[in-house]
Amino acid sequence: MDCIFCKIANKEIPSDIIYEDESLLVFKDINPLAPVHLLVVPKVHINSLNDISESNSSIVSKIFELIPQIAKEMKINETGYRVISNCGKDGDQTVEHLHYHILGGRKLDSSLG
């Protein structure tokens, strides 16, 4: 499958990985929009939020259990941060492999769109 995040998960292309376990990967966004800009990515290929269902939603729990740990490690847990998952064309999703952006390290704009 020609999916850039599957390739990153399979170590076929390099990335700046800051956390890895058997099911999840966290790496730095190649085009950071904030001092801390990480992507939390399941190793299993899921296209987008639209494809989350009862059969695979346990990965979403794992992602949201991991996020506060990563925030603490990056020292943004107290100052705060934003978690975003873009979905589809109108959501401006550019990589069709489910991922959650973690943005922090500065005061973010209040606009969401």
Q: Write out the residues near ligand AMP by the rule CB under 6 A.
A: 4, 15, 27, 29-31, 39, 86, 92-95
Nearest Cα neighbor of 42 from 84, 98, 3, 82 is 98
Nearest Cα neighbor of 41 from 2, 3, 82 is 3
Nearest Cα neighbor of 1 from 23, 85, 87, 10 is 10
Q: How far is the CB of 39 from Zn ion (least distance, A)?
A: 12
The CA distance from 20 to 29, in Å, is 15
Residue 45 catalytic? no
Which partner, Zn ion, ligand AMP, none, binds residue 71 by CB below 5 to 8 Å per kind? none
Report 26-65 residues binding Zn ion (CB under 5 A). 45
Which residues are 41's β-sheet partners? 25
Check 37, 45, 97, 99 and give the catalytic one.
99
Q: Is 3 in the site for Zn ion (CB under 5 A)?
A: yes
Report 84-113 residues binding Zn ion (CB under 5 A). 97
Which partner, Zn ion, ligand AMP, none, binds residue 30 by CB below 5 to 8 Å per kind? ligand AMP
Cα angle value 15/77/26 (rounded, 5°): 20
Residues contributing to the site for Zn ion (CB under 5 A):
3, 5-6, 45, 97
Query: Which residues carry out catalysis?
Result: 99
